[in-house]
Structure 1
Amino acid sequence: MTELLLAALCSVLVSLVLKWSKSQGFTAIALISWNYVAAIGLSAVLLKPNFSSLQHINSGSWLAFLALGLLLPVIFVTLARSLHHAGLIKTEVAQRMSLVLSLLAAFLLFAESFNWLKLLGIVLGLGGVLGLILSSKGSSKSVGALKHSGGLLLAVWAGYAAVDVLLKYISTLGYSTSIALCASFGIALLGLCLWQAIQRQWKPLLQPRHIGLGLMLGTLNFCNIWFYIKAHQQLASNPAIVFASMNILVVVLSVVAGVVLFREKLKKSGWGFVALSLMAILLLYYARI
């Protein structure tokens, strides 16, 4: 279970770094660019992708890789904005509950079987995350600001589900996860560099403080993936435990970090929606056993 705890801790630390960096004047897009530099290097060394499978890739497969490579940095930037506007707790719950949309997509697109526990878990998950998106944090926020944070949460929720669906689709084409990650990281980095060149925003990208923090962010981001893969390998006979434990740990750690480090507050209804999301994860765990 050590790998699971480390994976969850790295996941939350990524969000903590992004949220903290905003208050210190860092530019998210520059940090995320260097994040992909670290992620590409670590993926190549530790995951050892076999790029020979890309020699005869067809146009349909390239479109899937391109879509994933373009979506990853967009959703990462959206995550950074959501952490700033909506807070750590709501953003992490929205990110984790993207699994509800992923399961729905698996049923509709990949003919995954359903049972009543899975259906109930999806219903509770939808209720939890939609409740958090629609609920307000406090009366001090304007209606416009509340709509903006709700829109960001919705984008995080849908965006991470889309990433998961694309990864599943690429796996059905016969490409390994290591290939999908390494190739999409490369496309993401290229896209971010082109965007900053067009916008003439090179200055933050080349600052040593952005380089250092961005590489650290990428290391944490990759370690989240690496330890999660290791946890699945160690508990290969029961992937449901990994699935449930990872999501619950991230939500719990995010709640603790949000309250202790950032003094975040939720209404009673907000805590109820967090609890509803945790119940959904547990139900989906039992549905997978």
Structure 2
Amino acid sequence: MEEENATLLTEFVLTRFLYQPQWEIPLFLAFLVIYLITIMGNLGLIVIIWKDPHLHIPMYSLLGNLAFLDAWISSSVTPKMLINFLAKSTMTSLSECRIQLFLFAISVTTECFLLATMAYDHFVAICKPLRYPVIMTNGLCIRLLILSYVAGLLHALIHEGFLFRLTFCNSNIVHHIYCDIIPLFTISCTDSSINFLMVFIFSGSIQIFSIVTILVSYTFVLFTILKKKSDKGVRKAFSTCGAHLFSVSLYYGPLLFMYVGPASPQADDQDMVELLFYTVIIPLLNPIIYRLRNKQVIVSLTKMLQRNVKVSY
């Protein structure tokens, strides 16, 4: 009877970000604008890379995939959050939670491996510039991208599979603005220690692998830069790698706290701010950090706009 009752809870209430009703419309409009800018900025970069044959090289293929994943991460969280700002009820079904978790886990894990791949690409471009076309070929880039997406899919399937062993009978209140995996563990009436262990092992291993790859790559890059005698070359290398390192630090900071650090049964407003920063703000900032600092992308965008203006006249 206890197990039968445990399966009855199949709908959950998501905690609102702020509880003051007067903030609902302003917050809805603010996050709607942020979301639209994020989607247009990231998808715009994909269009630029696709339209310009000069950008059909590994470096820009990786940037295009990063833009795609940023749009994916934001889209897996923001639309549901926008609906909840205006809805009288923030109820969501267990199946919707599972789908949201699955899509979010794929995009987040894939981006971890993609950031490591980008660090390796920068390492080859700066430390072995003469051999870069031979080492970092389009074929290798495609294989690394496929491996990143497959790893993201497998990681999501593992946690999705272990999620099916949980039942919910004590509470249906998820203390997050979206269905995150840790808050679901904390309200389960089934022992979720195995689920916590799987998150710690797999998420921790993935993050350690990608962070170590990034740090090792940029350690070699730093030594190579310091050996350069050209001030222009040093500034260009520091500019390119500095943007990537800044983006990586923004990405991994909240991620480590959310999935590798100790879990708390409830999320306070500060936790939700960190969550919003990770899922909403970073996908918005990445186009600025990466794309607007890339002269080739700006040149391609300028040429595309000029062609459109000429066609319109």
State whether TM-score is above 0.5. no
Structure (1 or 2) with the greater helix fraction: 1
Output the TM-score relative to the length of structure 2. Answer: 0.26
Greater Rg by CA: 2
Q: Which has the higher contact order (CA 8 A, sep 6+)?
A: 1
Output the TM-score relative to the length of structure 1. Answer: 0.27
